[in-house]
Each structure stands twice: as C-alpha cells, then as structure tokens.
Chain A
Amino acid sequence: MKQTDTLKTGEMFAILSILIATRASDSTASLFTQKTQNAFWYVPFISLLVILPSLFLLFYLLKKYQDKHLIEMMETVLGGWGSKIIGLLIFISAFLLMGLGNESYVSQIKILYFPEAPGITIALIFFIVVYFSAKKGWKVIGFVSKVLLPFFLLSSVVLIALISNDIVVDRIFPFFGTGMQDVLWEGVRKGSLFYEVFLVTIAYTSFEKTTYFRKGVIIGLLFSITQLITFFFIYATTYDYNSIEKMSFPFHDLTQYVNIGSFITNIETFFMVFWILASFIRFTIYLYIITWIFASLFHIKYIESLLLPIGFFNLIISIIPENVIMNELVFRDALLNYTTPLLISFPVLLWIVALAKGDLKKQ
C-alpha cells in the first residue's frame, strides 16, 4: 500500500514549537535575567537575529544538495574526516545540553512537586518514559506532538488569561535593563537558544516533501519566538526588575500565583500536567534527534538500538551537577555561550567549501 503515514507541515510545526517554545517554561528566563535583569524579554529576538543568517545558509545548502539530511550533506561537502569532526562537535554539545537540560527539569519537578523524593528516582522515571516514547520512532513522535500541541497551547492561553490582571506594563522600564551593551552581548552569546533548529535538520528528508519541512520550520520558528517573547514579557511585567533575578522557575512561580476565583486557589497542578507532558515529548524529540545524528555520523542503520545507551549516558550526565544553581548558572550558561560560535560558523564553513568545490554552480 502506498505509504499512509507521512509527516507534513503540521508535524514539523508541532515538533519545533515543542522544542523551542517550551523554553519559555523552563529556567532559561532566569538564566537571562542574571545579566540583563528586566530587559531579558526581548533577548531571544536578538539571539534569533544573530543566528538567522547561518540558519538560512544551512537551509540554502540543504536545498541545493537535494535528498540529503544534515550529516549526509556535510559528508558530501567536507568529506569523511571533516564532517566527522564537526558532526561530533555538534553531537557532543547537543548531548551535554540535553543532559544539563534534563537535570534542570528533574530538579524543577523535585523542588516544586516532590521535595521528598530522591532526584535519581525522578530522573529514572523521566528516562524510562522518554526512552520508551523515543523507541516508537520519528513519525510517531511527530504525530503525537501534533495531537498534543493544541492542549499545550490551550493551557498557556488559560495561564495568560489568568495572569493578565497582574501585569503592569510599565515594568519593562528601564528598557535596556543593565545597559544596552550587556543586553546585546547576552543576546549574541545566547544564539544557541535556537540550537534545536539546527539539530532538527537531521530530519530534513523524513518528510513527504522537503517543502513541508521548510514551511514547518519557518512557521514553527515564528510561533516559537512569539511564544517565548510573550511569556518572557509576562515574567518581566509581573515580577519587576529586582525580584526577577531571584526567580529560579518563573513559569512555576506564575502558575502558583494565579487562581480561579476564590474557591480554587492552587491550580499549579493543572498547568504542571501539561508542562510535564510537554517536557516528556521535548526530551523524547531531543533524544531521538541526537541519537539520529550519532547514528548517521557512523552510518549505523538502527537508530532505535542506540537510544538506550545514549539515553543512559545522558541520565548519568544529568546527575553529575551537584545542585541546580551550579547546573543552571555555571555549566549550562557556559555551554550555551560556547555553542553559539559553533552554530554560527559551521554553515558558513560548509558554504565556503561548497563554493570552492564549485558544487553550488552546477545546479
């Protein structure tokens, strides 16, 4: 039978939105506030601008080398060794980011909802769910993302509606927070906020048509940046500039703050349900993508059999940091800063090599 289970724009949109827009609900916001205070809400926009030329260059290359995904395209351009080095760099930074992100989510769950449970148990549950979901394959991940995305949107709309009374727009001033230079510099350094867009190009060929992929990425990116800025704006205008620095988990603080009428006052669990589901899917996608990158780097056919070792090592990485502060403010901050130049430079490198080889003129 002609294939009936193909991925389309909707799935790509859902995958990318879950990968990036869920950043609004984790500790990324508090990471930004350390350097920029209440100006952090438009930092993602600066980061996007920084990363955009490289992203378009990468897309341009993928379009030129038809029917090849990220790693295959790199191999054609750079040859065996060059592509392996850059591919490994991409893989390792993504792997570490996932591990640290994992620890960040686990400690959020632990601190906010299960203070007495050992962190390793939560990490293990997280790992089990993510591993078994990822095992179902890329297409299923896409379908489920698409089915569940409306529910996530609904919950964030409810949250926005409930908090809207407490927003004081004047709190965006001083507009440049700690100073224009600091804000710009922070935005530039955190270009890796959109790391997932680069990673997801590994799935370039898995769609019915590659135009679906491109369309999905562009719409997903637009949507994600809107969602990020909306939520960051809400944090900035709800908490104001002095207290925002001290918020570790602004999203959860928000959900604990809001209430429905005077009878139901603690509704954070309602939002936590959707947040946990979204985090599960987010890490499922992440695990699958980095395993995919690893597998295609070394030409391993069965991605599913690599999920367990890679997922397990990730679990180990995630329990290394001693505490959430170290993890967030030292390791993750540094890693995000170091990956940005990699992301900005490698598409340029690819483009220059491809240009020198004359591949781009033929078509």
Chain B
Amino acid sequence: MIQSKKTRSKKTNSNKKTAINPNTKEQIESLKQLFSAEINKDFCHRTVFVNFNKKNAYLFYYSSIVNSDKIEQAIVRPLLEHDGETYENVLTNESFKIIDTLEQVIDHINSGKVVIFSEGEAVAYSLDVAQFQHRNVSPSANESVVRGPQEAFTESLHVNISLIRKQIRDKQLITTASTVGKRSKQDVTLIYIADLVNKEVLQDVEERLRDINTDNVRNVELLEQFLEERPYSIFPSIYYTERPDNAAAYIEDGHIVLLMDSSSACLILPVTFFTFFQSPEDRYSRFMFGNFSRIVRIIGFYLTTMISATYVALANYHSEMIPLDLMLAITSSRERVPFPLIIEVLIMEVAFELIREAGIRIPSALGPTIGIVGALILGQAAVEANIISPIIVIVSALSGLTSFAISDVSLNYTVRITRFMFIIAAGFMGMLTLMGALLLWIMYAASLKSFGVPYLSPVAPTFRSPKDTIFRKAIRNEHFRPGQLRPKDMRKK
C-alpha cells in the first residue's frame, strides 16, 4: 500500500512538465521572477542581437559558476559575428543541447550552463560552460601509503573521473549519472565496468538512489547514510575511500563506485568485512611484506577490541591465570586506588577517546598542547594522584594506539564502540559474559549484508574468490574475481 502511494507520488512529480512559452517576452519575465533576478546578485541575463537571423537572443546563467571567458569566446562572439542557418551551426560547442521544458531550463541554469532563448521560439538552447571552484589534486591525507600512488580525489567530479580513467583504460568503463534531491538536484555518478558488474546489484543501487526522498544530498558522506540498509548498525556497509587507485582496484573486481561533485572521496559497494580490514598498501607491497603487515593488523585488531576487556576479566574473575609475580605487582600498585578495576579502565579509555577527539578538532597551532596535557596529566599525574594504577595506563595506551592499525575510518569507529561493549560485558562475569558478547557480535556481523552480499563472505559462506581475506595470495596466483559479487566474468585473465 505504502509502496504504491510512493510510486504514484513519484510519477506525478516527474510528470510535471511545463512547455516553454513561444511568447519570449512573457517567458523571460516569468523566468526572471522565478530566479528572483532583482535581488539575486549572481544571476545574469543578457541580451544579444544575433547576426544570422537578426533577432534578439536572451542568455541566462549564474556568473559565479560559469567560465565567463568561455561565454564570450564560444557564445557571444559567434552569435554577434558568425553567419549560419541555425543555432546549432553557429554555436559549435560540444555540449550544445536543445531543451523544451521549463524544468529543464531551471536544472541547466542551476548546474552551470548557459540557457539561450531566441525570440519567438518554443525551445531553448543550453551550453555547458560550468566552472565550479575546487581544490587541486593533492596527496591523500587520511589514507597515506608509503608505497603506491599518492593522489587523492578532489572536490570535482570531472577531475575524479579522470583520475579513475587514467588507471582503467577500458572501453567498458561506464560512468552513468542519476540525480538525487528534490529541491537541489545533484548528480551522483556511478562508475563500473559494464561487462563485469552484476546487473542486479546495479539495479538495486539505482533503485535506492531513486528512492531517496529528501531536498538535498550535498555529498557522498551524506549519500552513504541515505543508501545504507541499516542506519543503526555498528558495522559500516559501504566503503568510503579517498584514493582513486583503491577505487580503480575495486571497479576492476566488479564493484560499483559512486562519486559526487562536492566530495573528495568515493563510495564503493557492495563490500564485506575484509574490505574494511585491508589497506591498499597490502597489495602494493610484495607478498611477504604485505602479509606481514596484515599479521600486524590482525594483532592490532585483537588488541584494540579485546585487551582492556581481557584485562578486566582476568584481573577480576580469573586472577589465577596471571602469573604470580605479575599478579602481586598489579595488586600492590592498585592498593591505594579507590575505584573498582572496571571504573579505572573506563576512566582511562574515555580519557583516551577524549584526547583523540580533541586532537582532531584542535586548531593545528595548538596541536602540541594536547600531547603535553595528555601525556603528563593523564599519564603521570593521574597515577601519582592514585586515581588510576600504572598498569591501566599501559593497557589503555595499548588498546588506544593499536586502534590506529585499523586504517579505515569507518571500521575504526566500529572497533572503538565494540571495545566499550566488551569492557562492560567483561565487567559482569568475566570471560563468560565476554565470550557471550563476542559470540553475539560475530553472529550480528555474520547476519549482515551489503547490497545482497553477506558480510563475512567469502569465508562464510564460501565463494570462489582471490582468497584475499585476512591474508592474501601472491598476485600472480589470483585467478578469480570475488565470487560473492557474482560478476559476469569470474576469471582474471
């Protein structure tokens, strides 16, 4: 019922079309009113006397988002000087388009095109002269690698697509656009290899893009939240990266990449848990070196999620497991601390999270302060004041630092939230509840799907795949694409 209502309202929306009034004077007046021309400073309208048909032409555009040189060179001068039969002959720009509804006119003006009305005609002509301002291509700040290309995406669709095309010179590499947003219409560009991508996944994505019902989706960061299936889940289901080389690698495996004009990153889907676990550098390094850093990362993953919780469980409930000498050292250092162990651990973990959050938000000029405050006050002074015991500093520093081994920003959050859940679980009844929490956590992860692909595949359920999960094979021995995506072409030739 709800579904049918939705589709009906969509239909009426898309069917609303107004033809262009052949009475150009009236049309122009209404257009000016629509764009509030008197008060809108960067909205431009010019009148040009056209040489070839000796009639007036009216140009409309936003001066802030177009290249004004290009307007002079490619539009105004030809109209004033050149001879020809039709507008198409005179304006030879490659983006020349004839449009016939008012809605199209509005869209085109909003997206940085010049729309030309000719006296007495029921159509308008549009030329793309957009020049949105953006940053230059710069090195990746959040996903830096030692070995591998340094370029990162920037806030321009054209530049981003060119960065991807540079790496995949394939005629089947398709970039299609669909619009999202009801009020401000933004283009979302889907990039994929047509003879690899699974059609059903593609349709699913396009459908979800169509179903987004909101006024404006400004960038991919917001788009991710509109697209994902479970907004309350602690696991990310769409991969977010700012590296074009990473995006290209996933496209070649049959994934779909989404780009938007004002984001310096892209979204990759569908993904699995292992996508987030891996870093592009693992593949750029040689087999041994890459797998070594994977081992380091899996240790980091274990430590950051479990070490504090394990410490709470062991020290509170299973102290016989800790060797006697160490146990005595721990006990004597805790002698003068008034809090229960779990409170101590939570204080330090929260403190670390605070330092981390402050470190991101602090103006860079004040950066060093945070180190001094963090190290001295929270480390040294808190121990001396008997608020926490020294071993807690070690444990929480270990769990905090190892969380940086998880390079992906989204999974990093997952891991940090998980850590707190595990600490609290371990505080209840030691290993019993900790293992219960761990099992439920794994169960939850296993039940997730990202665009129809199980989250723990290709391990469980099993698929024919490059077996690039926790460890990877030598590149020359990877014969298949990830089977969980059901790509059209399984074999990497």
The interface residues of chain B lying within 8 Å CB-to-CB of A113 are: 317-318, 430-432
Cross-interface CB contact of A136 among B198, B200, B446, B456, cutoff 8 Å? B446
Q: Is B384 an interface residue (CB 8 A)?
A: no
Binds A, one of B125-133, B236-244, B437-445, B473-481: B437-445
Interface residues on B, range: 35 or more
Q: Is B39 an interface residue (CB 8 A)?
A: no
Q: Is the CB of A122 within 8 A of B432?
A: yes
In the bound complex, how far is the Cα of B433 from the Cα of A143, in angstroms? 22
Most chain B Cβ neighbours within 10 Å, of A5, A139, A141, A148 = A5
Cross-interface CB contact of B442 among A6, A147, A268, A270, cutoff 8 Å? A147
Q: Is the CB of A122 within 8 A of B429?
A: yes
Q: Is the CB of B201 within 8 A of A11?
A: no
In the bound complex, how far is the Cα of B435 from the Cα of A280, in angstroms? 9
The interface residues of chain B lying within 8 Å CB-to-CB of A4 are: 452-454, 457, 461, 463, 484, 486
Known: A11-B461, A113-B430, A269-B431. A1 touches B439 (CB 8 A): no
Q: Is A144 an interface residue (CB 8 A)?
A: yes
Q: Is A265 an interface residue (CB 8 A)?
A: yes
Q: Is the CB of A109 within 8 A of B432?
A: yes
Known: A113-B318, A143-B446, A144-B443. A8 touches B462 (CB 8 A): yes
CB distance from A66 to the nearest CB of B (A): 23
Q: Is the CB of B461 within 8 A of A8?
A: yes
The interface residues of chain A lying within 8 Å CB-to-CB of B431 are: 113, 269, 272-273, 276
Known: A4-B454, A133-B443. A128 touches B436 (CB 8 A): yes
In the bound complex, how far is the Cα of B55 from the Cα of A222, in angstroms? 91
Known: A1-B198, A4-B452, A136-B447. A276 touches B435 (CB 8 A): yes
Q: Is the CB of A144 within 8 A of B446?
A: yes
**B window 404-462: CB within 8 A of A:** 428-433, 435-436, 438-440, 442-444, 446-447, 449, 452-454, 456-457, 459-462
Q: Number of A residues whose C-beta is below 8 Å from B?
A: 45
**A window 5-55: CB within 8 A of B:** 5-8, 10-11
Q: Which residue of chain A lies nearest to B435 when distances are taken between CB atoms in the complex?
A: A276
**A window 101-147: CB within 8 A of B:** 109, 113-114, 117, 121-122, 125, 128-129, 132-133, 136-137, 139-144, 146-147
Q: Is A2 an interface residue (CB 8 A)?
A: yes
In the bound complex, how far is the Cα of B180 from the Cα of A50, in angstroms? 67
Q: Is B320 an interface residue (CB 8 A)?
A: yes
In the bound complex, how far is the Cα of B320 from the Cα of A270, in angstroms? 11
CB distance from B308 to the nearest CB of A (A): 16
In the bound complex, how far is the Cα of B428 from the Cα of A122, in angstroms? 11
Q: Is the CB of A263 within 8 A of B323?
A: yes
Q: Is B321 an interface residue (CB 8 A)?
A: yes
In the bound complex, how far is the Cα of B197 from the Cα of A1, in angstroms? 12
Q: Which residue of chain B lies nearest to A280 when distances are taken between CB atoms in the complex?
A: B439
Q: Is B107 an interface residue (CB 8 A)?
A: no
Q: Is the CB of B440 within 8 A of A140?
A: no
The interface residues of chain A lying within 8 Å CB-to-CB of B433 are: 125
Q: Is the CB of B429 within 8 A of A148?
A: no
Q: Is the CB of B318 within 8 A of A129?
A: no
Q: Is the CB of A140 within 8 A of B447?
A: yes
Q: Is B204 an interface residue (CB 8 A)?
A: yes
Q: Which residue of chain A lies nearest to B459 when distances are taken between CB atoms in the complex?
A: A147
Cross-interface CB contact of B436 among A8, A272, A280, cutoff 8 Å? A280
Q: Is the CB of B442 within 8 A of A144?
A: yes
In the bound complex, how far is the Cα of B442 from the Cα of A281, in angstroms? 11
Q: Is the CB of B435 within 8 A of A273?
A: yes
CB distance from A144 to the nearest CB of B (A): 5
In the bound complex, how far is the Cα of B321 from the Cα of A267, in angstroms? 6
- As a 0/1 sequence over residues 138 to 175 of chain A, the CB contacts with chain B under 8 angstroms (1 = contact) are 01111110111000000000000000000000000000
In the bound complex, how far is the Cα of B452 from the Cα of A140, in angstroms? 14
Q: Is A266 an interface residue (CB 8 A)?
A: yes
The interface residues of chain B lying within 8 Å CB-to-CB of A5 are: 449, 454, 457, 461
In the bound complex, how far is the Cα of B323 from the Cα of A263, in angstroms? 7
Q: Is B314 an interface residue (CB 8 A)?
A: yes
In the bound complex, how far is the Cα of B282 from the Cα of A4, in angstroms? 27
Cross-interface CB contact of B323 among A128, A147, A265, cutoff 8 Å? A265
The interface residues of chain A lying within 8 Å CB-to-CB of B449 are: 5
CB distance from B124 to the nearest CB of A (A): 42
Q: Is A355 an interface residue (CB 8 A)?
A: no
Q: Is the CB of B429 within 8 A of A147?
A: no
The interface residues of chain B lying within 8 Å CB-to-CB of A121 are: 429
In the bound complex, how far is the Cα of B204 from the Cα of A246, in angstroms? 62
Q: Is A356 an interface residue (CB 8 A)?
A: no
Q: Which residue of chain B lies nearest to A264 when distances are taken between CB atoms in the complex?
A: B323
Q: Is the CB of A125 within 8 A of B432?
A: yes
In the bound complex, how far is the Cα of B321 from the Cα of A129, in angstroms? 25
In the bound complex, how far is the Cα of B460 from the Cα of A144, in angstroms? 7
Q: Is the CB of A270 within 8 A of B321?
A: yes
In the bound complex, how far is the Cα of B438 from the Cα of A281, in angstroms? 12
In the bound complex, how far is the Cα of B454 from the Cα of A270, in angstroms? 31
In the bound complex, how far is the Cα of B323 from the Cα of A8, in angstroms? 44
In the bound complex, how far is the Cα of B459 from the Cα of A10, in angstroms? 10
Q: Is A353 an interface residue (CB 8 A)?
A: no
- As a 0/1 sequence over residues 296 to 334 of chain B, the CB contacts with chain A under 8 angstroms (1 = contact) are 000000000000000000100110110100000000000
Known: A5-B454, A125-B432. A114 touches B317 (CB 8 A): yes
Most chain A Cβ neighbours within 10 Å, of B429, B432, B433, B444 = B432
Q: Is A326 an interface residue (CB 8 A)?
A: no
Cross-interface CB contact of A1 among B200, B320, B436, B444, cutoff 8 Å? B200
In the bound complex, how far is the Cα of B89 from the Cα of A90, in angstroms? 85
Known: A113-B318, A117-B429, A269-B431. A147 touches B460 (CB 8 A): yes
Q: Which residue of chain B lies nearest to A275 when distances are taken between CB atoms in the complex?
A: B435
CB distance from B274 to the nearest CB of A (A): 12
In the bound complex, how far is the Cα of B442 from the Cα of A177, in angstroms? 44
Q: Is the CB of B314 within 8 A of A143?
A: no
Q: Is the CB of B429 within 8 A of A269?
A: no
- As a 0/1 sequence over residues 196 to 226 of chain B, the CB contacts with chain A under 8 angstroms (1 = contact) are 0010110010000000000000000000000
In the bound complex, how far is the Cα of B433 from the Cα of A128, in angstroms? 10
The interface residues of chain B lying within 8 Å CB-to-CB of A180 are: none
Q: Is A320 an interface residue (CB 8 A)?
A: no
In the bound complex, how far is the Cα of B52 from the Cα of A20, in angstroms? 90
Q: Which residue of chain A lies nearest to B458 when distances are taken between CB atoms in the complex?
A: A4
- As a 0/1 sequence over residues 246 to 277 of chain A, the CB contacts with chain B under 8 angstroms (1 = contact) are 00000000000000000111111110110011
In the bound complex, how far is the Cα of B453 from the Cα of A10, in angstroms? 19
CB distance from A204 to the nearest CB of B (A): 18
Most chain B Cβ neighbours within 10 Å, of A133, A265, A269, A276 = A269
**A window 205-233: CB within 8 A of B:** none
Q: Which residue of chain A lies nearest to B451 when distances are taken between CB atoms in the complex?
A: A1
CB distance from B290 to the nearest CB of A (A): 22
The interface residues of chain B lying within 8 Å CB-to-CB of A270 are: 321
Q: Is the CB of A125 within 8 A of B436?
A: yes
Cross-interface CB contact of B438 among A6, A143, A146, A277, cutoff 8 Å? A277
Q: List 23 A-B contacts (CB under 8 A).
A: A1-B201, A4-B452, A4-B453, A4-B454, A4-B457, A4-B486, A5-B449, A10-B462, A129-B440, A133-B439, A133-B440, A136-B443, A137-B447, A140-B443, A143-B446, A144-B439, A148-B442, A268-B320, A270-B321, A272-B431, A273-B435, A276-B435, A280-B436
The 3 closest A-B pairs by CB, nearest first: A143-B460, A129-B436, A1-B200
